C-alpha cells in the first residue's frame, strides 16, 4: 500500500524543474498515423517530422514524406498556425487567446501545437495549486495530477523514478470532463538533449488517440543535442514568405469563431 500522495507543491517543483531542462529541443521523428477515410475504412500513413521547440510558447513541426514537405504546425508567443503544402498551399492562423477546440479541429492534425508538445510529456504544470489535485492511481503505481489546461483540463499520470517522475499518460479533457485526446508514453531512456547539459529521461515512443475523429498515431522521436534550434523556425512571417503563402491563402481562425463549416 502506498502512503499519502506527496503534496502538490512538491510534485510541481520536480515536474517543472524537468520542463525547464527541456526548454530548447531539436529532434527528428517518425509519425505513423491511422485514421478513417470518408467511407469509414481505416487508412494509414507514415511521415518524417522535424521538431524544434523553444518552450513554453514556440513550436515548429514540419511533416514530410521522403523529401516532399507536406505541412508545418507551429506557434510563437501570440499566434499558432497550420501550413498545408500537400495540394494547394494554404494556411490557417489564429491567436492563442481565442483558440477553441472547434477552430483547432480545422487543422488536418487537429491539435494545438503547444498541446502537441504537452502530450509529448515535455511541459510543466502550474506552480500554484489552485484547483489542481494530486492522488495515487487506483493500483498505486502512478501519481495522477489534474490541472487546468488551455482548452479544458489536463490529467497527467506520473510514474515515480529515482529523483523524479516519468509522464506515462497524458489526457486532455473538455469542459464536460470527457477525454478529447490522450497520449501514452513509453520506452524511457536517458538522452543528451543539449551539448554540455545533463542527460534527461525521454520517451522513445508516444501513442496518441484523438477521440473526436478516431485517429491514432505513434511518434518515435530521436533527439539530437548537436543541432541548434533556429529562431527563424518560429518566425511566422518568414515561414509564410518562404512557403509562398500570400494573404489570399490564409484563413484567419479568429474571424471564424462561432461560425460553422
For 33-62, write each residue's pLDDT tens digit: 998 888 888 899 999 999 999 999 999 999
Confidence (pTM)? 0.92
Given a cut of 70, whether residue 260 has pLDDT beyond it is no
Q: Is 196 exposed, middle or buried (0-12, 13-18, 19+ CB in 10 A)?
A: exposed
Given a cut of 60, whether residue 6 has pLDDT beyond it is yes
User: Cα–Cα distance between 121 and 191 in angstroms, integer?
Assistant: 14
Architecture of domain 8-256: Clam (2.50)
**pLDDT at residue 1 in the model:** 55
**pLDDT at residue 163 in the model:** 83
Segment 97-128, tens digit of pLDDT: 999 888 988 888 889 999 999 999 999 999 99
Across 133-147, 156-170, 224-238, 245-259, least confident range: 245-259
**pLDDT at residue 68 in the model:** 93
User: Cα–Cα distance between 83 and 231 in angstroms, integer?
Assistant: 18
User: Cα–Cα distance between 50 and 62 in angstroms, integer?
Assistant: 5
Quickly state the pLDDT bin for 259 (edges 50, 70, 90). Answer: low
The dihedral through the CA atoms of 212, 218, 224, 227 has a sign that is negative
Given a cut of 90, whether residue 204 has pLDDT beyond it is yes
Comparing 217 with 35, the larger pLDDT belongs to 217
For the chain, the average pLDDT equals: 93
Give me the mean pLDDT over the 6-12 stretch.
96
**pLDDT at residue 175 in the model:** 86
**pLDDT at residue 107 in the model:** 87
Give me the mean pLDDT over the 141-155 stretch.
93
Quickly state the pLDDT bin for 257 (edges 50, 70, 90). Answer: low
Amino acid at each position: 500500500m502506498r502512503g499519502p500522495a506527496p503534496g502538490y507543491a512538491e510534485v510541481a517543483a520536480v515536474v517543472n524543474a524537468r520542463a525547464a531542462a527541456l526548454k530548447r529541443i531539436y529532434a527528428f521523428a517518425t509519425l505513423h498515423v491511422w485514421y478513417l477515410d470518408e467511407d469509414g475504412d481505416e487508412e494509414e500513413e507514415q511521415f518524417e517530422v522535424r521538431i524544434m521547440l523553444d518552450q513554453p510558447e514556440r513550436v515548429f513541426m514540419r511533416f514530410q514524406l521522403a523529401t516532399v514537405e507536406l505541412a508545418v504546425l507551429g506557434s510563437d508567443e501570440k499566434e499558432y498556425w497550420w501550413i498545408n503544402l500537400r495540394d494547394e498551399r494554404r494556411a490557417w492562423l489564429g491567436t492563442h487567446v481565442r483558440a477553441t477546440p472547434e477552430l483547432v479541429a480545422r487543422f488536418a492534425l487537429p491539435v494545438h501545437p503547444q498541446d502537441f508538445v504537452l502530450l509529448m510529456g515535455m511541459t510543466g504544470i502550474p506552480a500554484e495549486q489552485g484547483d489542481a489535485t494530486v492522488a495515487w492511481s487506483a493500483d498505486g503505481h502512478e501519481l495522477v495530477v489534474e490541472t487546468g489546461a488551455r482548452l479544458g483540463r489536463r490529467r497527467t499520470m506520473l510514474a515515480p523514478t529515482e529523483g523524479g517522475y516519468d509522464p506515462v499518460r497524458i489526457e486532455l479533457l473538455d469542459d464536460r470532463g470527457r477525454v478529447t485526446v490522450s497520449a501514452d508514453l513509453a520506452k524511457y531512456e536517458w538522452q543528451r538533449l543539449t551539448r554540455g547539459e545533463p542527460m534527461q529521461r525521454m520517451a522513445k515512443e508516444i501513442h496518441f488517440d484523438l477521440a473526436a475523429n478516431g485517429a491514432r498515431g505513434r511518434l518515435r522521436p530521436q533527439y539530437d543535442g548537436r543541432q541548434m534550434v533556429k529562431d527563424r523556425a518560429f518566425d511566422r512571417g518568414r515561414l509564410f514568405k518562404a512557403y509562398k503563402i500570400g494573404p489570399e491563402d490564409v484563413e484567419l481562425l479568429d474571424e471564424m469563431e462561432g461560425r460553422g463549416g
